[in-house]
Structure 1
């Protein structure tokens, strides 16, 4: 039977590689990604390494979640975007946006 409410858990450092591989798989076929990494044989490895950096940062902040033993793509994607956006904000900024310097 399909579980409509699976248990969600916070990812740990041991899960980082699995989450990064999942995100890399999801992005590998995008036209923009194939332009950036045209060598098909290297694309997944390059993407996984790049995403691993953000995933590890997200895990440190408690922002990456998984369903059961596998990463849940939308939750991991949200964590990746949230982590990337947060790293662009000035340290200690609570605005969550562009801050007061833009207006």
Structure 2
């Protein structure tokens, strides 16, 4: 009886995850759906180790680290891109101002 309950719960949970993933794709984007999946990836082995006393071997630890790294990269990328754009615009405006100071425009 316990086996049937576990299988039924697993089936229902996977179906809810699939429906939620499709909903995220339709409402937001497929990239955001993949990010949410990457966030959930390290949670399962950690909960398995806590509640079912599974061992965290090297492969599980590496997958957890890679999942956290991918999520962190996704969160950090817009910040990095924005700060790079601001710095580039600042450098270009300074270069234009210094060029105008060095080479004065003559009227024809």
TM-score when normalising by structure 1: 0.27
Which of the two has higher C-alpha Rg?
A: 2
Considering fraction of residues, name the structure with more helix.
2
Query: Which structure carries more strand by proportion?
Result: 1
